[in-house]
Structure 1
Amino acid sequence: MKKPDTPGVIAPPPLIYLGFVLAGWGLAELGARPEAVEAGLGWLAAGFGLDMPVRRGLALTLIVGGLLFDGMAAGLFRRRGTAVEPWKPTTALIIEGPYRFSRNPIYVGFAVTYVGLAIAMNSWIALILLVPCLFVVDRFVIQREERYLAAKFGPTYEAYRQKVRRWL
């Protein structure tokens, strides 16, 4: 049987980020319940202590900035005629634009958007969960994509990989 021409990621990366941020929101909501506070779990609901206008402005800036960065990076895929979705075959190696500074600018943009959402939700726990989220993305998405790209583009990808950092 022929191996599929995809990296075989565990799940669509936006869903991984969304799952973690929603888990953080859910834990914060549970921590705000009176019985959770009585049980000593009220810290799960702790916020950032920012005034509402400051928090909203910061959150909006990060969310919009992250989405614009994602859009710019994904737009390069579209212009080059290759799929941005990691469950579809890659037909071109993109190394210009934000890909000159990061091999994964879309995932960096998702992380910036995630931080904005955590701030918008006023949830420390959601922000803390970004760490395991990035671990999952790094190990179960990016590493699989890198093996796939190395096999598909060979020395060209290896030279790019040596020159440009994985994240920032």
Structure 2
Amino acid sequence: MLLRHLRAILLGPVTVTIIIPVLIVTTVGAGAVDLGPVARGLAVVVGSGLGAAGVAMLAWTISLFARDGAGTLSPQNPPRTLVMRGPYRHVRHPMFSGVLGIVLGEAIAARSLTLLAWFALFAFFVAVMVARVEEPRLARRFGSDYARYRDNVPRWVPRLRPWRAELPQGSAE
């Protein structure tokens, strides 16, 4: 199972957050904006903080997929049960939010217009893919449980108070 997780992480988040940005910067260039020393330092701090928060969210959601969902982030080995704990009680796609946070953080820290363009392109792809592929697949797999979850937890903008699903008797919160 560990190898499945590592393969899924390498094929997904590592490709999107490391390999593609490196290829973009080495082939196209960073397109860095010169902001002056104070703004440059602020950009590094803000971008690094956003990237670190994205990494933390990604790690948390991957661990929830493994522990509570008995699966990986890969469509070839998805969670067997619907994960509705932790950040999933606030927003339906925190794993994608984490990856988007990493990519945006990289663009801000590097002050890179080309990485910002990559963020915009990837965000558009994720938004379309989630609406047209991911959520219909989840609805087919988890039926009424997912429909109830979808009706109570927003797709992208987190709800302030966590949603509490009514758990079957004997389940721990």
TM surpasses 0.5: yes
Match of 1:74 among 62, 66, 78: 62
Q: Is the 8 A contact 2:91 2:154 kept in 1?
A: yes
Q: Is the 8 A contact 2:44 2:110 kept in 1?
A: no
- Corresponding position of 2:139: 150
Secondary structure of residue in 1 paired with 2:72: coil
TM-score (norm 1): 0.72
TM superposition shift of 1:150: 0.8
Higher Rg: 1
TM-score (norm 2): 0.70
Distance 1:89 1:61, change over 3 A: closer
TM superposition shift of 1:149: 1.2
Q: Is the 8 A contact 1:20 1:130 kept in 2?
A: no
Q: Following superposition of structure 1 onto structure 2, how do residues 44-55 of structure 1 map, counting pairs within 5 Å?
A: 45-47=31-33, 49=35, 51=37, 52-55=40-43
Distance 1:48 1:62, change over 3 A: farther
Aligned length: 142
Secondary structure of residue in 2 paired with 1:28: coil
| Structure 1 unaligned regions, length at least 5 | 1-11, 30-44
Give me the whole-angstrom Cα distance separating, in 2, the residues matched to 1:130 and 1:73: 21
Give me the whole-angstrom Cα distance separating, in 2, the residues matched to 1:160 and 1:137: 20
TM superposition shift of 1:125: 2.9
Give me the whole-angstrom Cα distance separating, in 2, the residues matched to 1:128 and 1:50: 22
Q: Following superposition of structure 1 onto structure 2, how do residues 110-121 of structure 1 map, counting pairs within 5 Å?
A: 110-121=99-110
Q: Following superposition of structure 1 onto structure 2, how do residues 122-141 of structure 1 map, counting pairs within 5 Å?
A: 122-141=111-130
Give me the whole-angstrom Cα distance separating, in 2, the residues matched to 1:23 and 1:144: 27
Structure 1 residues 71-119: Cα deviation after superposition (integer angstroms, max 9, x where no partner)? 1122111211222223323301011211112111011011111111112
| Structure 2 unaligned regions, length at least 5 | 1-10, 158-173
Q: Deviation above 4 Å: which 4+ runs of structure 1? A: 16-20
Match of 2:155 among 143, 162, 166: 166
Q: Following superposition of structure 1 onto structure 2, how do residues 20-99 of structure 1 map, counting pairs within 5 Å?
A: 21-22=21-22, 25=25, 26-29=27-30, 45-47=31-33, 49=35, 51=37, 52-80=40-68, 81-99=70-88
TM superposition shift of 1:120: 2.6
TM superposition shift of 1:141: 5.0
Q: Is the 8 A contact 2:58 2:98 kept in 1?
A: yes
Compute the RMSD of aligned alpha carbons: 2.3
Give me the whole-angstrom Cα distance separating, in 2, the residues matched to 1:128 and 1:48: 17
Higher RCO (CA-CA < 8 Å; seq separation 6+)? 1
Give me the whole-angstrom Cα distance separating, in 2, the residues matched to 1:91 and 1:124: 40
